[in-house]
Amino acid sequence: MKNKYLFIIAFLSLALIASLYLVLRTTIFVKKAANTNQSTVALENSYLFVSPLQVKADGKEKMRLTIFILDGRGMGIANQTVSLKTSSKIQVTSIQNQTDESGKAVFDLTSASAGQYNVSAQTGDATIPQQVKVVFY
């Protein structure tokens, strides 16, 4: 009876080790963002989002705009310089305008003028098709 339990424990241990080995070999855990020389930007895969969607128009409250520049496989592209297109009534603070290893760039937005505004992002001379609407009240 003891041998049967030892066999089951040994089998499960080997199965666990084999599973861990396979998971660690998977490229999603090993591979980092692509270098700009290896991949091209896929504008249709890249996106931006803002949080919160509305803040007071007091010039102090901020909203955080995050942009992800991705390739055709959905992997982030590092070292891409990102700029924003928006109304001159919005003050843009660049937190990180060059993408990191995950393809992420970050900006803060404030305004002293109430209104609803569109914000778009571009890298190089290419504009991401998606835009976000922000509200300052």
Sheet holding 90-96, edge to edge: 47-51, 63-68, 104-111, 90-96
pLDDT per residue over 8-26, tens digit each?
A: 888 888 888 888 787 777 6
Q: Same domain for 17 and 57?
A: no
| Alpha-carbon distance values, 60 to 50, 74, 83, 95, 132 (Å) | 16, 35, 21, 16, 20
Q: Same domain for 66 and 104?
A: yes
* pLDDT computed for residue 29 by the predictor: 52
Q: Same domain for 113 and 63?
A: yes
Total domains in the fold of the chain: 2
Q: Same domain for 16 and 70?
A: no
Report the chain's mean pLDDT, rounded to a whole number: 89
Q: Is residue 119 part of a domain?
A: yes
* pLDDT computed for residue 48 by the predictor: 95
Q: Is residue 38 part of a domain?
A: no
Q: Same domain for 77 and 131?
A: yes
Q: Note down the domain range covering 60.
A: 47-136
Q: Same domain for 23 and 53?
A: no
Helices (H) then strands (E): counts for the chain: 2, 9
Q: Same domain for 94 and 127?
A: yes
CATH number at residue 125: 2.60.40.10
pTM given for the model: 0.71
Which 3 state secondary structure label does DSSP give 38?
A: coil
Q: Same domain for 6 and 68?
A: no
Q: Same domain for 25 and 51?
A: no
* pLDDT computed for residue 110 by the predictor: 98
Placement of tokens 């003028």 in the chain = 113
The answer to whether residues 52 and 132 touch, using CB atoms and an 8 Å cutoff, is no
Lowest-pLDDT range, 23-27, 68-72, 117-121, 127-131?
Answer: 23-27
Q: Same domain for 120 and 77?
A: yes
Q: Same domain for 61 and 10?
A: no
3-state helix, strand, coil split of the chain in percent (to 5) is: 20, 40, 40
Q: Which of 115, 32, 100, 28 is nearest to 66 (CA)?
A: 100
User: pLDDT confidence of 36, banded at 50, 70, 90?
Assistant: very low
Q: Same domain for 61 and 127?
A: yes
Helix (H) or strand (E) holding 94: strand 90-96
